[in-house]
Structure 1
Amino acid sequence: MAGKLILPVLLLLFTGPLYPIEGTTSSRSDDGSSPQISLLQSFNFFGQHYSQIYVNHNGHLTFDSSWSSFTPQQFPMYGGRDIIAPYWTDLDNRGNGDIYYVQYTNGSILQQVTQDINAYFPGLNFHANWVFIATWHEVAYFPMTGTQTTIQAILTTNGQYSFVLMNYGSLANTSRLIQAGYDTISSSHHFSIPGSMSNNASGSNSIFSLDSNVNVPGRWVFRVDHGSTGSHAHLPAPASLSPSPVTLSARRGASAIVDLSSMVTNVCHQHHVVVIMKDAIGKLVNSSGTVKSVREFAPVMV
């Protein structure tokens, strides 16, 4: 029985919550991009309505033009472009790996995405009428290193609400910097996934794949049709932010609890949650001095 239980956990932690990997294959080229992709549904990204997109080989999506940048910049960039970056780093698909993109307007994928969004954002009664999935499947780091990294960026809308999902599969270890999240023109809206631009971004201990803001390790989800300015992303309800048993079991000892509490504190900060201090063993302390463990801590919206 124990052997039967191990496999799903390993798949969840190291393969990730990926949607089907399929679609049109982009060219094999270092620092390349897909051609302009006409969207079957206009996508509202913080007030900008886009009808086209580019899947850039170095782990990001742009709207107005392709972009070959392989050196990640920390968000916010205060630049002149909208960007969705599930894994911005120097990738190279010339030797191994494929980059796919596909759109859906009906079928089981729309049903699955609809179900997922309603689980993360209850009360919106969301019904997806379009889904776009870009997958970097087993792509190597430059220069043709033979490593294998798999990530996905998913865009979906019902014409009123817009969402971005980022799924993380197996992430090969690298010393390269990696930026994950999104940024807008002049950085009026931006979000950086915890672990970005640090040594906790890649490999089997990647925060991207072990943690989550929707209680599904390896998945990060954001509502992007509107939101507060700055780094305060429109995130799911606090109830969905409690760490899952899989996430907790993936960490061992006091140092592991510190890592988890740091993630909780970081995510809670995006929700304007008041966390006065955190002690060295990963417990959270409220303003009255009461110590709460990570398991007991309940975010309070202010």
Structure 2
Amino acid sequence: MKRKFLVGLITALFISGCGIKTSGISENIKINLSENKLGYNYSQMLIPALSESQIMTDTYTDAIWDSYVDKERNITFRDNFYNDLKNYYKELVVLKKIAGNENITLSEQDKTKALKLSKIFYDENVANSENFPGLTKEDCDTVFMDYVLVDKTKKELIEKNVKEVSESEARIMDFHVIEVSDFELANTLLDRLKNGENCVKLATQFSESDSISRSIAINDETDDVKNTLEVMEDGSVSPIVTNKGKYVLYKCVKSYNAEATKKNKQRIKEERESAYLLNLYNEFVKENPIDINENEFNKVCKNSGSHLSGRDFFTLWSEEANAGL
């Protein structure tokens, strides 16, 4: 579920270096399933529930469910699954409503894709199964079209409202670093570096930090450090930089680490998208409070362990995204 539920990379998942996750959003969102505000019947709700349950079981075996995610708090993988499933429905109803408010609709191409996958799912898992009592082909179509709609809504809103990450914002530079507490020693080491002595050897001998080789996200540094480092070229040595009570010398190994910068750019992008969605959801639910019927939700959870005879909901979407269908 952490890999596949609605908000993609950010659902119930810590973004590296950010700590934003949709469980923080979902605590503020309530849904009354019994009043049909989600718009799904019981069998429709089982489609994502059984699908993700099967993925977890097939990946980790049945033993995963009673294993602890957090033993001190007595939280098992089953508890996490139920929480993620609830978050899925919460995020779904909010994004569907936002799509309506923003006049975001499905194109004929969108509908064709959704209906194609729905037919595969229905033929493989519903037509000759008792797992989805009373589920019609039209019911199944609705679940698949809603998934396309909310994914499209998320992407369009992010594209319109989230600033792109520039290379300069994400730039990673590689350095060898020496940190000392004595200013005179720092001056002596600076002279020795300028005279061509090996920075790693000097750092190993004199530095008060074990972190000698560093890949640094320049934009994350203080202005003083950033202004000093960003103009350095390969092989150059910085003047003495005072940082957190230490005197620091940097020797530039690589002024632009392309691979690390690419990864950092993706990290910043995900953080921005996560923060935008967090604010979007929270602002929406302030004006649209919704309650939840725990009995209805618990019924779905209780019956989410059946095995599907064919490909699950999320696997079909993954195969479609990778041109496998």
Higher relative contact order (CA 8 A, sep 6+): 2
**The structure with more helix, counted as a fraction of residues:** 2
Q: Which has the larger radius of gyration?
A: 2
State the TM-score, normalized to the length of structure 2. Answer: 0.21
User: TM-score by structure 1 length?
Assistant: 0.22
